[in-house]
Amino acid sequence: MIGKLTGVIDLVKNNQLLLDVNGVGYIVFASGRTLSKIGVKGDTCSVLIETHVREDHIHLYGFADALEMEWFNILTKVQGVGAKVGLAILSVASPNDLSLAIAAQDKAVFTQADGVGPKLGTRIVTELKDKVGNIDLSPTVTSSNTAAMAVDGHDNTQEALSALVNLGYGRSEAMIALSRAQKNLPDEADLGLLIKQGLKELSA
């Protein structure tokens, strides 16, 4: 099994790169996020590798960091999410965005990716809510963790969240706004004040 490759970038196109490792060219599939971070043709780079062995092929999937690779493994365990779709999701959302989207049950973040429709987006956020909830997949405490705790800790937050979503805001951005709003409000703040402060944060 190949776990890491270091070499010179020979070609980058679409969702893959050709990496020259001591004269041997490896085709590595990667997300847009990874491809944007590793450099351009002629640069030396290192990528972590997830090797998929099938009867008819061996595919190498590359990642700029361990966090993205961990998310790839988590996503591809969901029925209907293959390697290609997993990379597509990681191309449109960062790991922290994915944590927040799952906490907020915001399928819209996932349906931005090619190959993910509403039904699959719902399946992803539903199946991963419990699996990801207790795992720290970020290098630091993120807004998604803070927002999730805020929603759990205030009775009015769920109603305020629903109100902001009904006004057209995404669940993820509404959750972040309410989390920020609660820092400047007393615990017993009424629903109207919470919504008002949340809207202020959204317009900032």
pLDDT tens profile 61-117:
999 999 999 999 999 999 999 999 999 999 999 888 888 888 888 899 999 999 999
| Terminal-residue alpha carbon distance, the chain | 49
Q: Where do runs of H (alpha helix) occur along 66-170?
A: 66-75, 83-92, 95-104, 108-111, 118-133, 143-153, 157-166
List Cβ<8 Å contacts ≥24 apart for 22-27: 26/60, 27/60
Q: Considering only CA atoms, which of 43, 24, 30 is closest in space to residue 88?
A: 30
The pLDDT of residue 196: 85
The pLDDT of residue 133: 53
In the chain, domain spans: 4-64, 67-139, 141-204
Q: Which residue has the tokens 């820092």?
A: 183
Average pLDDT over residues 161-180: 81
Q: SS3 of 41, please? A: coil
- Helices 66-75 and 118-133, axial angle in degrees (round to 10): 120
What is the largest distance, in Å, between two alpha-carbon atoms of the chain? 66
For the domain made up of 4-64, give the CATH fold. OB fold (Dihydrolipoamide Acetyltransferase, E2P) (2.40.50)
Q: Which residue has the tokens 């990716």?
A: 113
pLDDT tens profile 14-50:
899 999 999 999 999 999 999 999 999 999 999 999 9
Round to whole Å and give the CA distance between 73 and 86. 8
Q: Which residue has the tokens 């699959």?
A: 120
Q: Considering only CA atoms, which of 48, 115, 29, 47 is closest in space to residue 78?
A: 115
For the domain made up of 67-139, give the CATH fold. DNA polymerase; domain 1 (1.10.150)
- The region of weakest confidence among 1-10, 75-84, 129-138, 164-173 is 129-138
Average pLDDT over residues 160-177: 81
When the pLDDT of each residue in the chain is averaged and rounded to a whole number, the result is 84
Kindly state the helix (H) or strand (E) to which residue 197 belongs, with its residue range.
helix 191-203
Q: For a pLDDT cut of 70, what percent of the chain falls above it?
A: 87
